[in-house]
Structure 1
Amino acid sequence: MTARGAPAVDLDAILAELGQFGRYQVRTYCFILLPIVFSAVYNSQYIFAAAATDHRCVVPECESPPLSWSAGPWAGWALPEEDGGRCARLQPLPAAAGACAPAAFHHNNTVACDAWVYQNNYTIVSEFELACEEWKRTLVGTMHSVGLFAALPITGYISDTFGRRTAFVLTAVSAALMGLVRAFSPNYAMYLVFEFLDATLGSGVYSTGFILALEMVGLNKRVLGGNIISCSFALGQVLVALVAWAVPYWRTLTVVLYAPSLLFAFYYFVLEESVRWLLSRGNKKEAARIIYKAAAVNRKKLSPESIRQLSEDTEITQSGELKSEEKETQKGNEKSDSEPIKNRSLAAEVIRSKIIMSRVAVCSFVWITTTFTYYGLSINSVSLAGNMYINYILTALVEIPGYALSVLTLDRFGRKSSIMTAYIVCGLALIALPFIPSDLHWIATSLNMLGKLCISMAFSSIYIYTSELFPTSARHRLLAVCSMIGRIGSIVAPQTPLLMQVWASLPYLIFGGMAVSAGLLMLLTPETLHQRLPDTVAEAEDIARHPHNTT
């Protein structure tokens, strides 16, 4: 029980005294950013390990081991002209009995291949004989995305129950273990299972690291801190492409990428727990120890009031409000009696509101479009003309100015207009891409980069915009609904390479069409720049009716 009338621990005020982003926070960030970089490695390594590999049929009548990728002159009469014999070869005539001559093969009839020669043996396509089973190759990315979806409740439970640091270290080390086991997979099924487990157990590195980092910086530096983390993730994607370029064989690549993450187990002894989480769990003694340590490292002196709050038996909250025992007791009684009714009435009020439900529908489509286009462009960048590693590196690096643009434009030009512009420019660039002549592949690459820049800008902005559209009473839940539905895009995105079998440019037309549609649909939602965050459904509905209702 707290002392009657005792002041609460005002953590935001204490952080302001410590320094918004002092030496202690910088040191904490240095520890956290390395696993963030590796989280990008975990999330993109399959793009290279399961990359498409060119192949052709083995023609036993005309070649024998050791097989060479380059076919001899016999390819002109043994392999069909349409696809060069990727999945079928011309049918040998029974009368020829294994001869390799033009007269030994049927000129029109083909038979399915039962063995292939691969251009290289770097990926699982050649390792597990996935030629002509493109769906199995793309299924790897889909299973990874399903694992990301499954990770959300698991990571959240561990983080809220056992601490940010525990979740951070556990997910980083779990990813390393799952990745190393996958490197020794004897078959495709085992590889697929551990790709799923890798994402399920290890993808929480980013979210827990993000929370752990931001909970120790001041309010005015959270945008800066968030962008540093986002940029680190982009650099991690660059790292995986560079390592894959140097170590192309997928088994060796997986070991090289994942083995260093085992060292993150030592983070448990060098990284401090989140002060906010400790306070929320009632462990003010440990929280005070960390705050005093941060003050010493930052060479700051806490005020007598802050020292008193940390040393006395004060109530542990983060809002700075005053609460007495009577208020707590009364609040508990009221909550137990009325919470079910309030929850039911709130849900009914949200559902009855056509304005709120239309925003949920628009935001859900926008989230699907964003994840679908963002991950789709990353995955399909390796299929662009030119060096696939350079293409992927450029696609990753262009995210950094996209994040910077979101910071520069959201407060200056407004949330809605900035995000709409990003979607429409992204869509037009991708729609134009298929019409670029093949000999001008640098222009196609530039349009792809422009699309990725704009969708990255939109991705970093929709969290803020979506939150500002909904009332406080239902904000978290409605944001979660949009985000969860948005995962459909990331699950479907790995399958888009299959569309290239129909037309090489078809994925980009779909990405572009959805991006333009998302931008136009935002005409149905209001501008939220300088708007006071709505607390009730009625206030949220009023945003569109009274656009100048500022704080």
Structure 2
Amino acid sequence: MKAKDSIDLDAILTELGQFGRYQVYTYCYILLPILFSSVYNGQYIFAASDLDYRCKVPQCESDPPQYDTHGWGLWALPEDGRCRRLRPLGNGCSAQDFHYNETEPCDAWVYANDHSIVTEFDLACENWKRTLVGTVHSVGLFAALPITAYISDGFGRRTAFILTAVSAGVMGLIRSFSPNYIFYLIFEFLDATLGSGVYSSGFILALEMVGLKRRVLGGNLISCTFALGSVTLALVAWAVPYWRTLTRVIYAPSLLFIFYYFFVEESVRWLLSKEKKEEAARIIFKAAAINNKKLKPESVKQLTENRHEVPTIFKGAIPPRDEREPSTTKKILKSKIMVSRLCICSFWWITVTFIYYGLSINSVSLAGNRYVNYILTSLVEIPGYCISVLTLDRFGRKATIMTAFFICGSSLLAMPFISKETLQWLVTSLSMVGKLCISMAFSSIYIFTSELFPTEARHRLLGICSMFGRIGSIVAPQTPLLMEYMESLPYLIFGAMAVTSGFLMLLMPETVNLRLPDTVAQAESMATRRTKRPHDIIVD
């Protein structure tokens, strides 16, 4: 039986306009910090990038030393003179002053440029220290998710969004003054821990304000903005290559997001879940005025009557819980459906983050200009997001995401069997196809995961999935090291995980055209009765 005074929030959002002027204005505010979040998420690829260097040979160096040896490197350095030099026989710099086949470790290096921290902190021949930066950043992302989810679910989506957006700017600017490698690592971790939650909190805030039929469009607008952020990063890094200056240029604008407190409203769905009906009603009436829409008398009555009394059941928000009922966490842990759903979603997240970041990081190693390669790898994401907009509602979540996983896996599994010497263009093309499909899967998984879990724990469960997914992003920066043992190994792992994730999609319910579930019971019903809308189930 339906509660008499329930608030049908999804119906009210439809009356306001699925994606009206108010939603457009708010989205514009949300998208800018998300663009910067993308920039910060990939900045270490350039700040800690590999570069050319060679052993320093004191008796042959000019003052100051130059990377170009002007010929003497032919007899003073072996073919790979990055970490070893030919043993000197005297103090001169002629061919007779060096042993022709005996080498010794280098004790100093000359770098081609100072663009990377490799030069600044003298990290030559310690490639693991360079790749560790990306892993530390990803560990910070892992730590950020439960913190951001707790703030978002407890204190509001807007609070989490603004706090993380500003924190990133502060930590990044401090890091730009790093005196040594350890200091740099500490603030790389703090940057990710305190600032990376802007994407998840912004995504939830945006998703909860649009109507059912514009959920996919809204989610993919955010994903496209994230891709454009990667393009922006490459262009700025190309123009400002020195890592300290680059860091200051990209992080300083985030300090201005503190003023968002005056422009961005809280999520109405979250306000209703916290029984803040009066504030929720104010925002709804404001949105109706901006969208030039008139609410039905029934909706106005739902929002205005009994404002100062404890609300009854909200349809489109969380019903007040009887103190004798088990907590939401206990309900989830006792539900086999929810636990299995959480495990499968977590594996999906590991897969998409591992492949997504792995392909992005390795794109700078492809033949050609590394900035152009990174831009192309980022731009190819946008067609993937556009395809998901066209297919998620038409063919359903499951078929769309499964197809994306299978095509991605097939492309990447084929790469090791193609000659890079003769068909480099095909290798690059397959890498781009893989990035397009995994980007399509990534944005779709964000939407699909949000639809599978109830409002009362949506951000926490989404945070858990994303937190496990960070295992993939933690391992991804180390894939260049795997290539030293077997060049095709990362792509074989990428492909196998993508195909496995595609098959796991068969175990999930379809959520297309379903309203967001608000309780554990409603979320469970999606798996048992596909034809019944979860919001038609009333919790006594």
- TM-score for both structures, normalised by structure 2: 0.87
SS of match in other structure, 1:501: coil
Q: Is contact 2:8–2:314 with CA below 8 Å preserved after alignment?
A: yes
| Cα 1:301–1:473 shift into 2, 3 Å | closer
Aligned pair partner of 2:102 in 106, 109, 118: 109
Q: Which residue is equivalent to 1:407?
A: 389
What is the Cα deviation at residue 414 of structure 1?
A: 4.9
Q: Which residue is equivalent to 1:441?
A: 424
Q: Is contact 1:470–1:540 with CA below 8 Å preserved after alignment?
A: no
Q: Which residue is equivalent to 1:332?
A: 322
Aligned pair partner of 1:129 in 122, 136, 159: 122
What is the Cα deviation at residue 30 of structure 1?
A: 1.1
What is the Cα deviation at residue 535 of structure 1?
A: 5.0
- Cα deviations by residue, 1:294-325 (Å, 9 ceiling, x for unpaired): 222111222333333333215547733999xx
- Cα deviations by residue, 1:207-237 (Å, 9 ceiling, x for unpaired): 1111222222222212111111111111111
Q: Is contact 1:471–1:539 with CA below 8 Å preserved after alignment?
A: no
Q: Which residue is equivalent to 2:474?
A: 491
| Cα 1:491–1:403 shift into 2, 3 Å | same
Q: Which residue is equivalent to 2:37?
A: 39
Aligned pair partner of 1:86 in 71, 82, 86: 82
Q: Which residue is equivalent to 1:65?
A: 63
Q: Is contact 2:358–2:479 with CA below 8 Å preserved after alignment?
A: yes
- Cα deviations by residue, 1:107-143 (Å, 9 ceiling, x for unpaired): 2221111111112110111111111111110111111
Higher mean displacement: 5-14 or 156-165 = 5-14
Whichever of the two has the greater Rg, that structure is 1
Q: Which residue is equivalent to 1:370?
A: 352
Aligned pair partner of 2:408 in 417, 426, 438: 426
What is the Cα deviation at residue 259 of structure 1?
A: 0.7
Q: Which residue is equivalent to 1:502?
A: 485
Q: Which residue is equivalent to 1:244?
A: 237
What is the Cα deviation at residue 537 of structure 1?
A: 11
List aligned pairs for 1:384-395, cutoff 5 A. Answer: 384-395=366-377
- Residues in 1 aligned to 2:15 and 2:143: alpha-carbon distance in whole angstroms: 40
Q: Is contact 2:396–2:511 with CA below 8 Å preserved after alignment?
A: yes
| Cα 1:391–1:221 shift into 2, 3 Å | same
- Residues in 2 aligned to 1:62 and 1:103: alpha-carbon distance in whole angstroms: 13
- Residues in 2 aligned to 1:370 and 1:24: alpha-carbon distance in whole angstroms: 32
Amino acid at match of 1:423: F
- Residues in 2 aligned to 1:424 and 1:249: alpha-carbon distance in whole angstroms: 40
Higher mean displacement: 425-434 or 109-118 = 425-434
- Residues in 2 aligned to 1:550 and 1:426: alpha-carbon distance in whole angstroms: 33
- Residues in 2 aligned to 1:346 and 1:367: alpha-carbon distance in whole angstroms: 19
Amino acid at match of 1:67: P
Higher mean displacement: 63-72 or 253-262 = 63-72
Q: Which residue is equivalent to 2:28?
A: 30
- Residues in 1 aligned to 2:212 and 2:524: alpha-carbon distance in whole angstroms: 28
SS of match in other structure, 2:177: coil
Aligned pair partner of 1:9 in 7, 10, 18: 7
| Cα 1:406–1:99 shift into 2, 3 Å | same
Q: Which residue is equivalent to 2:315?
A: 320
Q: Is contact 2:270–2:317 with CA below 8 Å preserved after alignment?
A: no
Aligned pair partner of 2:93 in 83, 93, 100: 100
Aligned pair partner of 2:194 in 192, 201, 216: 201
Amino acid at match of 1:207: S
| Cα 1:27–1:361 shift into 2, 3 Å | closer
| Cα 1:26–1:142 shift into 2, 3 Å | same
- Residues in 2 aligned to 1:538 and 1:210: alpha-carbon distance in whole angstroms: 23
- Residues in 2 aligned to 1:301 and 1:105: alpha-carbon distance in whole angstroms: 87
- Residues in 1 aligned to 2:511 and 2:408: alpha-carbon distance in whole angstroms: 22
Q: Structure 1 or 2: larger helix share?
A: 1
- Residues in 2 aligned to 1:528 and 1:307: alpha-carbon distance in whole angstroms: 33
Amino acid at match of 1:195: E
- Residues in 2 aligned to 1:295 and 1:319: alpha-carbon distance in whole angstroms: 20
Amino acid at match of 2:277: K
Q: Which residue is equivalent to 2:536?
A: none
Aligned pair partner of 2:206 in 207, 213, 220: 213
- Residues in 2 aligned to 1:425 and 1:492: alpha-carbon distance in whole angstroms: 23
What is the Cα deviation at residue 479 of structure 1?
A: 6.5
List aligned pairs for 1:182-193, cutoff 5 A. Answer: 182-193=175-186
SS of match in other structure, 1:421: helix
- Residues in 2 aligned to 1:161 and 1:529: alpha-carbon distance in whole angstroms: 27
- Cα deviations by residue, 1:76-135 (Å, 9 ceiling, x for unpaired): 221112x2x011111112xx2x11122222222211111111121101111111111111
What is the Cα deviation at residue 155 of structure 1?
A: 1.0
Q: Is contact 1:391–1:445 with CA below 8 Å preserved after alignment?
A: no
Q: Is contact 1:531–1:549 with CA below 8 Å preserved after alignment?
A: no
What is the Cα deviation at residue 173 of structure 1?
A: 0.9
Aligned pair partner of 1:234 in 227, 234, 237: 227
| Cα 1:468–1:275 shift into 2, 3 Å | closer
Aligned pair partner of 2:284 in 283, 287, 291: 291
| Cα 1:522–1:301 shift into 2, 3 Å | closer
| Cα 1:20–1:162 shift into 2, 3 Å | same
Q: Which residue is equivalent to 1:380?
A: 362
Q: Is contact 1:473–1:536 with CA below 8 Å preserved after alignment?
A: no
| Cα 1:528–1:280 shift into 2, 3 Å | closer
Q: Which residue is equivalent to 2:538?
A: none
- Residues in 1 aligned to 2:201 and 2:312: alpha-carbon distance in whole angstroms: 21
SS of match in other structure, 1:320: coil
Aligned pair partner of 1:258 in 251, 261, 264: 251
What is the Cα deviation at residue 165 of structure 1?
A: 1.9
- Residues in 2 aligned to 1:349 and 1:361: alpha-carbon distance in whole angstroms: 12
| Cα 1:333–1:193 shift into 2, 3 Å | closer
- Residues in 1 aligned to 2:461 and 2:239: alpha-carbon distance in whole angstroms: 44
Amino acid at match of 2:315: G
- Residues in 1 aligned to 2:390 and 2:205: alpha-carbon distance in whole angstroms: 25
Q: Is contact 1:179–1:198 with CA below 8 Å preserved after alignment?
A: yes
Structure 1 unaligned spans of 5+? none
Structure 2 unaligned spans of 5+? 534-540
Amino acid at match of 1:426: C
Amino acid at match of 1:448: S
| Cα 1:321–1:269 shift into 2, 3 Å | closer
| Cα 1:18–1:200 shift into 2, 3 Å | same
Q: Is contact 2:408–2:498 with CA below 8 Å preserved after alignment?
A: yes
SS of match in other structure, 1:370: helix
SS of match in other structure, 1:438: coil
- Residues in 1 aligned to 2:508 and 2:49: alpha-carbon distance in whole angstroms: 42
- Cα deviations by residue, 1:356-412 (Å, 9 ceiling, x for unpaired): 887766554443222111110011111111111111111111111212222333444
Q: Which residue is equivalent to 2:494?
A: 511
